[in-house]
Structure 1
Amino acid sequence: MVDSTSSHPSSDSSASTGDNLTLPRRLNLLQGTALNMIDMVGIGPFVVLPLVIKTLGGPQFLWAWILGAVVSVVDAFVWSELGAAFPQAGGSYKFLKISYGEQRWGRLLSFLYVWQTLIQAPLVVASGAIGFAQYMSYLMPLDDWQRRAVSGGVVILIIILLYRKIDSIGKIGLIMWGAVLITLGWIIIGGLSNPQIPLSETLGSMGTVSGGLIAAGLGQASVKTIYCYLGYYNVCHLGGEIKNPTRNIPASMFISIAGIAGLYLLMNISVVSVVPWQQAQNSDFIVSTFVETLYGPSAAKLATILVLLVAFSSLFAVLLGYSRVPYAAAADGQFFRIFARLHPTRQFPYVSLLFLGGLGFVFSLLFRLGDVITAILAMRIVIQFVGQAVGLLLLHRRRKASEFPFRMPLYPLPVLLAIGIWLFIFFSTGTTFMLSGLTVIGLGVVAFLVSAGVRRQWPFN
């Protein structure tokens, strides 16, 4: 593990975890990028596209997707500096602990991140599973309990697929990445080659943006689009299993963002070139409606199956990455020791996987999709995104530039810009969701103080 007095760790063939087993470094740049991209493209863009159009009330919705890409790129500079310097399992857990000091405030911030992960990671899994069941109802009528059964079954199947060595997981990820590219490619090529509405008319109306629109609707719409970009940093959670991490971690993030941003923008333009935005904003199955308009009902069913495969692939990558977070904290001695256990023969954190997957299964039976998307983002911004960016500023004050293998251009401007944008997005979630996120943080502080008091650690030592 990394301590606050060391420079960036070695990129050897395995990463030490604190017990007698290690996470092997077997994921290359292609596999890491594929896992990032399938994490980013889940059910999100297929269910969020109509919501974004409705939020802005017009064809200017494309700007919300552009803002989502800009936020991702700016924030990726923060992740790249931290991920390249500290390529270990756990991602933000490690970054927060090292940045704020491992003996004091870093303990609190990293604990709060793990605390949030125990709640928000299963919610992310549940949101994907619920969206999967929603699209499944296009193929066959499903009542409420049947949808819940489908979403719960998807989570169980994901757990079974992840219960194996990381080698085969990288290969499975490449297959799923292929499904993502085929699905988005079909939508893009189909719409742009067979437009029902002239592109000049569509793009021309998108170019009209007023200051009132930016102030009133763009922030709220961007909350939903950013949800669809989240996952560009998944490779940091797998930092202990990435080959040549000082190069591959930053490269995989920027490649993922550039690729997904291009695909999202082309997909949106393609869809509204076939389905008028006035109709698209009220569609529960926009991709199915789009393909049915072009090719008929049979093709629409095939497209729906591909969307389901993409959603399934994303859940696979999400649960894979998050299962490493409680594991890293436990291996560090800051969480329940049982989560530090690796499978004796397959070398993966099976306790953490089963716990988060089990909660995801329960949440998928309890909640609705619309109830979790905004709450997920509001819960993560303060500690993970803003806290992490501030932590990087503190880290630069204590360490030499040579200790950061990746250096962002124009430092510290991207960091300050990231902090400002994330705070803007946080306030755009609304009072209810801001309070829910702050409440989770408050409960986490109480839990930390109780735990520290029992163990006679800072601030009670």
Structure 2
Amino acid sequence: MTNSTPPSSDQNSPTPEQALPRRLTLLQGTALNMIDMVGIGPFVVLPLVIKTLGGPHFLWAWILGAVVSIIDAFIWAELGAAFPQAGGSYNFLKISYGEQRWGRLLSFLYVWQTLIQAPLVVASGAIGFAQYASYLIPLEEWQRKAVSGGIVLVIIVLLYRKIDSIGKIGLVMWGAVLLTLGWIIVGGLSNARIPLATTFEGMSSVSGGLLATGLGHASVKTIYCYLGYYNVCHLGSEIKQPARNIPASMFISIVGIAGLYLLMNISVVSVVPWQIAQNSDFIVSTFVETLYGPGAARLATVLVLLVAFSSLFAVLLGYSRVPYAAAADGQFFPIFARLHPTRQFPYVSLLFLGGLGFLFSLLFRLGDVITAILAMRILIQFIGQAIGLLMLHNRRANTTFPFRMPLYPLPVLLAISVWLFIYFSTGIAFMTSGLIVIGIGTGAFLVSSAIRKRWPFTTT
């Protein structure tokens, strides 16, 4: 059941539901989710997680990331199945908190944050791509920046086309993801050199202090590697049979990726001791070189780069629909509502976010970007969305929700608690930066509302 949206302030701009054709299948939606989730992240983060926990307990961080994702996916599934519109969280927040009052503020803040954090996500993948590329060819700092910026430009060119063509490209890239992870898993488990009993000795004895400190910090990085399971919600108005396919694609993606991540970690440390793996900048290349030699390691590095490239493709595709949805709804600058005259995709939104991603890829470092991305999202998007779903259940009949989570509202309350734990684990600096972005966005909303004479400056 979808909600009708107010007419756009730009009379020439159709609503997202009218303009974007439903052409993506369950398989294509799942593929786009999974290539969004598996970018450069797990290949760069794996050593960092081991170092953070300092021993075999690192698997708990990956398990916690999967659990958090599944719990949160119940919230996305209910909202995505009920309101399958372009923009995902923009519409969920607006509908949950009321389209004329607080929902306008929350949805505005989400779009405001998207203009910053979406290009940061693109930049993180591009920076990681350039970092791994330096295994093949040693690169100086300016050369790395040239590679990261150039890869963003290539992604923009590939996305400048119809959505049905993009779905087919996504399936090809999904194949590359499965091939890369499959090679790592099968190669390591079939050529194990270190007994797993030795590697994971003492894993079950996790102290409370470890859970409260090291596990929290490590989980910030593993959750970053799971983000993207909800990408299909941003493409809600382009998914066939959304009430069924949106929830299904998310749970299939999370379970599949969680299994691959756990097997990949086990495979790597069965060949490369975790004491060595934690200090490797190119853990996959080191792993393959140990098994098969330098030539195979170079091939593996190429596959990792292809996976990172595929993830950037899915990320920019999904986020380009968010400013478009807000603009088509009359709540953002009308220029973002423009569709390509013949290919029917939001080209202004794509070019704007891609352009900022290009700029950010030249300015920032990977480590800080990963933590900043998560700290910026948690309060408005994840916690705000969870509270909004509780409010919706109090106002609307159960028939509004084609998908219902089990044991409601327990998963929602668990999600809020865990997201707060992760938020505090990001540290004071990143927590503060997230609050600053929210504060500036609130000021921008108030100025815009005053100029346009809208709530809270009018009761109409």
1:59 Cα deviation after fit = 1.4
Instruction: Check the 8 A contact 1:90/1:237 in 2, yes or no.
Output: yes
Who is 2:92 aligned against?
95
Is 2:122 the counterpart of 1:125?
A: yes
Q: Which residue of 2 aligns with 1:313?
A: 310
Structure-1 separation of matches of 2:20 and 2:322: 13
Counterpart position of 1:33 = 30
The residue number in structure 2 matching 1:300 is 297
Deviation, structure 1 residue 18:
2.1
The reply on whether 1:254 has 2:251 as its aligned counterpart is yes
Q: How does 1:56-455 map to 2 (within 5 A)?
A: 56-455=53-452
**C-alpha distance 340-150 of structure 1, shift in aligned 2 (>3 A):** same
Query: Matched residues in 2 for 1:17 and 1:278: separation?
Result: 57
* Equivalent AA in structure 2 for residue 309 of structure 1: L
Shift of 1:5: 9.8
Amino acid at match of 1:212: G
Provide the C-alpha distance between the structure 2 equivalents of 1:339 and 1:124, rounded to a whole number of angstroms.
20
- Shift of the alpha carbon at 1:203? 3.1
SS of residue in 2 equivalent to 1:204: coil
Partner of 1:9: none
- Stretch moving more, 99-108 or 51-60: 51-60
Cα offset, 1:281, TM superposition: 0.5
The whole-number CA distance in structure 2 between the counterparts of 1:343 and 1:21 is 14
* Aligned mates of 1:347, 1:215 — CA distance in 2: 48
> Residue 21 of structure 1 contacts residue 347 of structure 1 at CA under 8 Å; is this kept in 2?
no
Give the Cα separation in 2 of the matches to 1:2 and 1:209: 46
Question: Partner amino acid for 2:168?
Answer: K
Contact in 1 for aligned 2:96/2:103 (Cα 8 Å)? yes
* Cα 1:245–1:3 shift into 2, 3 Å: closer
Alpha-carbon separation, structure 2, partners of 1:18 and 1:215:
46
- Whole-angstrom distance in 2 between the partners of 1:20 and 1:127: 31
* TM-superposed deviation, 1:4: 7.1
Structure 2 counterpart SS, 1:131: helix
Shift of 1:17: 4.5
* Secondary structure of the corresponding residue to residue 301 of structure 2: helix
Alignment check: 8 A CA contact 1:28 1:242 kept:
yes
Cα deviation code 1:60-111 (max 9, x no counterpart): 1000000000000000000000000000000000000000000000000000
Aligned residues of 1:78 and 1:415 also touching (Cα < 8 A): yes
> How far has the Cα of 1:2 moved from its partner?
4.9
Contact 1:21–1:342 (Cα < 8 Å) also in 2: no
Q: 1:19 to 1:98 in 2, by over 3 A?
A: closer
Q: Structure 2: where are the runs of 5+ without partners?
A: 7-12
State whether residues 45 and 228 of structure 1, in contact with CA within 8 Å, keep that contact through their aligned partners in structure 2. Answer: yes
Deviation (angstroms), 1:19: 7.7
Is contact 1:99-1:392 (8 Å) kept?
Answer: yes
Identity among equivalent pairs (%): 83
Instruction: Check the 8 A contact 2:37/2:227 in 1, yes or no.
Output: yes
Contact 1:130 1:369 (8 Å CA) reproduced: yes
CA distance in 2 between counterparts of 1:341 and 1:399 reads 33
Q: Which amino acid is 1:272 matched to? A: V
**Equivalents in 1 of 2:252, 2:200: separation in Å?**
26
Q: Deviations over 1:362-403 (max 9, x none)?
A: 000011101200000000000000000000000000000011
User: What's 1:13 paired with?
Assistant: none
Aligned amino acid, residue 221 of structure 2: K
Q: Which residue of 2 aligns with 1:12?
A: none
Equivalents in 2 of 1:22, 1:375: separation in Å?
34
SS in structure 2 opposite 1:309?
helix
Q: TM-score, normalised by structure 1?
A: 0.96
Give me the TM-score of the superposition, normalised by structure 2.
0.97
The structural deviation recorded for 1:204 is: 3.1
The question of whether the paired residues in 2 share the 8 Å contact of 1:47 and 1:285 is answered with: yes
- Asked if 1 retains the 8 angstrom alpha-carbon contact of 2:5 and 2:329, the reply is no
Q: C-alpha offsets along residues 168-189 of structure 1, whole Å, 9 cap, x if unaligned? A: 1000000000000000000000
3-state SS of 2:240 partner:
coil
1:208, CA displacement in angstroms?
2.9
Question: C-alpha displacement at 1:210, in angstroms?
Answer: 1.7
Partner deviation per Cα, 1:204-224 (whole Å, 9 max, x = no partner): 343332222112210000000
- State the superposition RMSD in angstroms: 1.4
